[in-house]
Amino acid sequence: MISSPSVVTSLPDSPADSMRALLRIQQNAFQGDMSPSRAVRLDRLKRLNLLIESHADEFAAAISSDFGTRSRIEIRITETLFLQSGIRHAIQNLSRWMKARRVSTALAYRPGKSMIMRQPLGVIGIISPWNYPLQLALAPLIGALAAGNRAILKPSELTPAFSRALADAIAKTFASDEVAAVTGDASVGKLFAALPFDHLVFTGSTAVGREVAQAAANNLTPVTLELGGKSPAIIDASCDLESVIDRIAWGKLINAGQTCIAPDYMLVPRNDVDRFVARLRISMTRLYPKFRSNPDYSAIISERHLRRLRELIEDARARGAAVIEIEPLDPSVAAAARQLAPTLLLNVTDSMRVMNEEIFGPVLPIVPYDTLAEALAYINRHERPLALYWFGRNSAARDQVLAGTIAGGVSINDTLLHIAQEGLPFGGVGASGQGHYHGEFGFRQFSKEKPVFIQSRFSGGGIIRPPYKPSIERVLSWLSRFT
């Protein structure tokens, strides 16, 4: 069902005019089919799946090239398989999602009936980041296509090889009036955010997210912002460390900590800190026997980001933190490979940069606490996180944490895995974002849920229209008991 292939994948000349023209092409196409059939939507989802399958090796090579070092297996687990699971879920449930839903009608207005009709919004803009460049570009697209929309993507300029590969693959798979991608630097991204999309999705830092929201506000464009923040992980006094320590180490070190929902800091009972550190060091070296030239261990995306992480560590050291490097590397070798060994920080304080900025790397502060109430108070004094983790066996303590904190998503006795559940929404709250997608939640995010009332031919509405008769008071009194 594919029409002519997309031809707009890069914008070397007049990016603003080219993007506006592309948006008009998609808007006009949407006007011609404002309610795509299930068959059309399935075809687009299946083509998206084919795009991922047929370009998986090419994408992995490009991503690894952009990073310098990134495991092909890790890319397959966290990006390719993740997306294919989401597509499969959407295909299996599309019929149910598309159905109009009957809702109750007040007794006084029966036999009329009420329903909610889900219809696509139009053209969705998607601005994706560099850390999981394939997953975070195409995961929102799944929901957008399932809901019947068109879409334009702007992948990150920090992964240029991948962004070119993705744009080329999209151009070969979709017509430009269905799905297209534009490439370019940050200035192109700013122009992109200012376009009058019907909905705009941005994944990235909180600071840039504010700018994107302001640009979209000029067009009254609704936004889904998937940001970040400092996601805490709590070790409860009831925790069996041996059973969960590998899960914590994996969640922190996958992609070298360059994960928006990675544990940003640990809250550990004061008496357990030494035991926790010892076991975490063992676990990290078990998962990664070496960090130098290890193909399983990701590099930091750029020299600028590597320098920032080192500055966070040195700032903490200068302010009194104890710095524990899991495998100290020769600085010249580490710089050449951009691989930073895991670093634990003890005796941290709120005056340190590392406790005020999202870390986004393999640096893990450990904060001791004496009571669970103290730990929750510490979390709640700060901005609401994108993710929260709790480890323990005490169900009462678990419920206290769930009721006493607000976070974008939670995993209990594991890390990261709530994001992989298509039945759960993914999104932030407050400074960590707004809106959500994945599964049916993405379908709904990119749909207008239109309320519809259908009047019956036997409507009794005439009795409350003027000219009002003396009996109107009795009628209103009767109606008030049923409305």
In whole numbers, what is the pLDDT of the chain averaged over residues?
93
- Structural domains in the chain (count): 2
Q: In the predicted model, is pLDDT for residue 230 greater than 90? A: yes
Is 260 in the active site?
yes
Query: Within this chain, do residues 221 and 287 fall inside the same structural domain, yes or no?
Result: no
Residue % of the chain over a pLDDT of 90: 86
User: What average pLDDT does range 435-455 have in this prediction?
Assistant: 96
Residue 335 falls inside a structural domain: yes
**Domain region containing 191:** 15-227+435-447
Res. 445: pLDDT tops 90: yes
Residues 151, 238: one domain?
no
In a domain, 7, yes or no: no
- Asked whether residue 471 is domain-assigned, the answer is no
Quote the CA–CA distance of 33 and 53 in Å, as a whole number. Answer: 28
> Tens digit of pLDDT for each residue in 264-307?
999 999 999 999 999 999 999 999 999 888 999 999 999 999 99
Q: 142-145: long-range contacts (C-beta < 8 A, 24 or more apart)?
A: 142/45, 142/48, 142/83, 142/86, 142/87, 142/90, 142/442, 143/90, 143/437, 143/438, 143/439, 143/441, 143/442, 143/443, 143/445, 143/446, 144/442, 144/446, 145/41, 145/44, 145/45, 145/48, 145/179
pLDDT for 53: 97
Say whether both 78 and 153 belong to one domain.
yes
Q: What's the CATH number where 56 sits?
A: 3.40.605.10
Half-sphere exposure of residue 200, counting CA atoms within 13 Å on the CB side? 28
* pLDDT over 80 at 346, yes or no: yes
Q: Are 156 and 128 in contact (CB under 8 A)?
A: yes
Catalytic site residue from 178, 226, 327, 358: 226
What is the spatial order of strands in the sheet that 363-369 belongs to?
Answer: 322-325, 343-346, 363-369, 265-269, 232-235, 387-391, 409-412
Does residue 88 sit within a domain? yes
285 with 407, same domain: the answer is yes
Q: Is residue 300 part of a domain?
A: yes
**pLDDT at residue 333, as a whole number:** 53
Contacts 24+ apart (CB under 8 A), 373-377: 375/234, 375/267, 376/400, 376/401, 376/404, 376/405
Q: What pLDDT is stored for residue 8 in this prediction?
A: 46
Q: Enter the pTM of the model.
A: 0.93
Same domain for 344 and 287, yes or no, is yes
CB half-sphere exposure, 256, CA atoms < 13 A: 26
Whichever domain contains 254, its CATH number is 3.40.309.10
Q: What is the mean pLDDT of residues 172-178?
A: 98
Whether 268 and 410 share a structural domain: yes
In a domain, 455, yes or no: no
- Crossing angle of helices 160-173/56-67, nearest 10°? 160
Look at residue 325 in the predicted model and tell me its pLDDT: 94
How would residue 329 be classed by pLDDT, with cut points 50, 70 and 90? low
In contact, 49 and 84? CB cutoff 8 Å:
yes
Q: Does residue 6 fall inside a structural domain?
A: no
Looking at the structure, do residues 240 and 306 belong to the same domain, yes or no? yes
Task: Express as a percent the part of the chain with pLDDT over 70.
Answer: 95
Q: Which residue has the higher pLDDT, 394 or 329?
A: 394
* Strands 232-235 and 265-269, bridge-based pairing: parallel
pLDDT grade for 334, boundaries at 50, 70 and 90: very low
Confidence grade of residue 469 (pLDDT, cut at 50, 70, 90): confident
Name the pLDDT band for 479 (thresholds 50, 70, 90): confident
pLDDT of the residue at 13: 63
pLDDT at 422: 96
User: Quick check: 47 pLDDT over 80?
Assistant: yes
Residue 331: its pLDDT value, please?
Answer: 58
- Is 248 a domain residue? yes
Residue 393 and residue 265 share a domain: yes
Indicate whether 423 pLDDT > 90. Answer: yes
pLDDT at residue 330 above 90? no
Q: Which of 90-94, 104-108, 253-257, 403-407 has the lowest mean pLDDT?
A: 104-108
Same domain, 248 and 108: no
Q: What per-residue confidence (pLDDT) applies to 3?
A: 46
Q: Which pLDDT tens digit goes with each residue over 147-167?
A: 999 999 999 999 999 999 999
pLDDT at 218 over 70: yes
Q: Would you state the pLDDT for residue 437? A: 95
Same domain, 134 and 281: no
> Is 262 in the same domain as 124?
no
Q: Among the options 74, 178, 260, 358, which is catalytic?
A: 260
Is the domain of 202 the same as that of 244? no
Position 475 scores a pLDDT of 80
Q: What is the mean pLDDT of residues 72-85?
A: 97
